[in-house]
A and B are shown apart, each in its own frame.
Chain A
Amino acid sequence: MESPERWPGGRTGHRHFRRSGPDRWGPGRWGRGPGSSGPLRRGRDDRLVGGVAAGLAARTGFDVTAVRIVFVLATLLSGGTVAAAYVLAWLLVPADGADASIASRAQTDGRGIALAAGLAALLIVVLIIASVLGAGWLGSTLGWPLAISVAGLVLIWRNAPADEQQMIRRLAGPLPGLTGENRRFRIGARVSATCLLLGGGLLALLTGHPRDLLRPLGGVVLVLAAIVVVLGPWWLRIARDLVVERRARVRAEERAEMAARVHDSVLQTLALIQRRADEPQQVIQLARAQERELRSWLFDGVAPGSMGETGLTVAAGVRLIQQEVEAQHGVAVEAVTVGDCELDDNLSALLAAAREATVNAVKWSGAEVVSIFAEVEPMEVSLFVRDRGRGFDPEAVPADRKGLAESVHARMSRRGGSATVRTVRGEGTEVSLTMPRGAGERQQSRA
């Protein structure tokens, strides 16, 4: 800290500077003070905008006010070049007490860089158009400094530390449309910008000479810019909302599919285990089978209850359901299939829903026999699960009973199929499932 060559940075350096500062500037308000050694740092306490003038004053020993006056005069005389240099200095020189400049932070801000480059490019285009339209002095004198300043300010705005941002906001406060606090100002700014661009564009278009191609072209660009200014924010919001909504939907669907699978496998097995708690051998068997299934799902991606094995057909799948349900629940399942075809993802989902409906019927209806009828037709596969049990009131099913709602209805509709439940108390229940068949496999509708 004592060494003049090494500027230690951090809070310590900052304190050091503050403590010693006033002494240095003390002798003459307008005269030249002793000046400080060490690298240039932007002033923090006595800055008006970026602290560049204050930093220069501290480094050279001149009075800060004098430095500022020189800056303003130079800016006016140089046609903005000095202002651009000021912005660059703001960007490149670290603030007093900070380790890194804003530029070093901005390096990782890809979007900020893109935005800055885009804005600068847009500005240059506008200025070129302006020069084409006969206001060449605007482009040649103000163009490059303006583009550099805008790009630099964007990067500063996005990457400045919190205290500097606070200050920028305070500075920008009077400018409507930038702070986003006042909606009406913002809309007003947009409308006037649009009117300006549109007016200029139309004027250029209407007055353009047929032989001169650039003038009407510039007009078109201005009109397009007006449209972008008007619709841009709205369009951006729509696009963003769409992306967000689609992501949410995909997530919800994934979650639903996951819940349906867990319900079909793990929850069913747990229910069975509770019911057969007094038969340890069976319980072990169930647990083992479930473990195997869960493992193959988690680690090999084979979904439980999906019957996704290749080569399996609808009829074989229905037979499998029949065997499994009869074995697990001890209720007779009568299965009839007409026609046959290979399973695809949709038909696997159909069978998974059918199995769930069958298990439901076996568990809740109290019927001795549950009938499954599957018919493979050229365009669709229909499947009916019917029992003559006690029936139920669909409205009275508790919300946490996911079986019918999630495993059957949702599973079918996710795949473009449909499920209807007809139930009469005391007469039984019939679940009808229909799944359209995918194109390209209709040739073997009947086996």
Chain B
Amino acid sequence: MSAPGARAPDGGRPRVFIVDDHGLFRTGVRSELGDQVEVVGEAGDVEPAIALISESLPDVVLLDVHLPGGGGQAVVTAMKATHPQVRFLALSASDAPQDVIAVIRAGARGYVTKTISGAELVDAVRRVAVGDSVFSPRLAGFVLDAFAALSPASADRPSFDPELDQLTPREREVLRLIARGYTYKEIARELYISIKTVESHVSSVLRKLQLSTRHQLTQWAAERRLT
């Protein structure tokens, strides 16, 4: 946010960078986004992606989870170190939970599946551009699963920070509704809260997901990898 030109003015078109190893898919996303956003560049591999993103400093990077040469996780980690203001939205066709969670934990602001419609994708990009997070139903499911594995009942060692290692009932509720396919607006209506509150719940979940150092979260990911 401190870097000049990194942030699009509110209401303006967000500047988007696309990272995906399938050229055809990049083209597809580009055309779907249309003129709602400004696509400032694209890359098909980890190394060129890091270099090009550092150069163009987009608002949002649409990042394929599965990239040759380290995966999307490597790009996020590298950019966090040098340009923390760049936000990432993970985009994936494959749905291995551990990969998705790894990218989120590395710092991505959200995760959507490639089946998402153009309008929804634009909406998600806008959201990430202003600092919100974007949860697809699938991500909500993964997160619920991951934190369920962390529940006190299954913990075999004491939690250093229970605040971070558990979801509040309200956060759970919100995640469940997301998993059921509700939009933030619908969730707000369902729970009689404002959309802003829904967003803050989701951001809080994301923060916990990224900051929790619980041994079990890593273990959970490792277990899921086996199955």
Contact = CB atoms under 8 A, between A and B. Distances in A.
Instruction: Tell me, yes or no, whether A binds B.
Output: yes
A339 B137 CA distance: 15
Interface in B137-170: 137-138, 140-141, 144-145, 148-149, 154
A257 interface: no
Nearest to A376: B148
A332 B137 CA distance: 14
Interface stretch (B67-75, B79-87, B175-183): B175-183
Interface string A202-219: 000000000000000000
Interface string B187-227: 00000000000000000000000000000000000000001
A430 B141 CA distance: 18
A369 B115 CA distance: 9
Interface residues of B, number: 18
Contact of B141 (A332, A337, A386): A337
A246 interface: no
B113 interface: yes
Contacts of A447: 227
A219 B24 CA distance: 100
A339 B181 contact: no
A18 interface: no
Given A373-B141, A375-B144, A334 B115 contact: yes
Interface in A314-368: 332, 334, 336-339, 368
A62 interface: no
B148 A373 contact: no
Contacts of A371: 137, 180-181
A447 B148 CA distance: 10
Interface in B112-148: 113, 115, 117, 137-138, 140-141, 144-145, 148
A336 B179 contact: yes
Interface residues of A, number: 17
A437 to B, nearest CB: 15
A425 interface: no
Contacts of A338: 141, 144-145, 148, 179
A288 interface: no
A338 B176 CA distance: 10
Interface centre among A336, A337, A338, A388 (most CB of B within 10 A): A336
Interface string B4-29: 00000000000000000000000000
Contacts, number: 45
A25 interface: no
Interface of A, secondary structure class, is strand
A368 B182 CA distance: 15
A90 interface: no
B115 A336 contact: no
Interface in A10-43: none
A332 B115 CA distance: 8
Contacts of B145: 338-339, 446
Contact of A446 (B115, B137, B149): B149
Given A338-B179, A375-B176, A446 B141 contact: no
Contacts of B141: 336-338, 373
Interface centre among A334, A369, A386 (most CB of B within 10 A): A334
Interface in A119-170: none
A334 B145 CA distance: 17
A334 B138 contact: yes
A58 B150 CA distance: 102
Interface in A408-447: 430, 446-447
A338 B137 CA distance: 11
A373 B181 contact: yes
A384 B140 CA distance: 14
A384 B180 contact: yes
Contact of A373 (B113, B115, B137, B227): B137
A262 B115 CA distance: 33
A446 B154 contact: yes
A380 to B, nearest CB: 13
Contacts of B227: 447
Contact of B137 (A334, A368, A388, A430): A334
Nearest to B151: A446
Contacts of B137: 334, 336, 371, 373
Contacts of B140: 336
A375 B182 CA distance: 16
Contacts of A430: 180
A332 B138 CA distance: 14
17 contacts: A334-B113, A334-B137, A334-B138, A334-B181, A336-B138, A336-B140, A338-B141, A371-B137, A371-B180, A373-B137, A373-B141, A373-B181, A375-B179, A386-B180, A386-B181, A446-B154, A447-B227
Interface of B: 113, 115, 117, 137-138, 140-141, 144-145, 148-149, 154, 176, 179-182, 227
Top 9 A-B pairs, shortest CB-CB distance = A371-B181, A336-B141, A338-B144, A373-B179, A386-B181, A384-B180, A373-B180, A336-B179, A338-B145
Given A336-B137, A384-B180, 4 more contacts: A336-B140, A336-B179, A371-B180, A375-B176
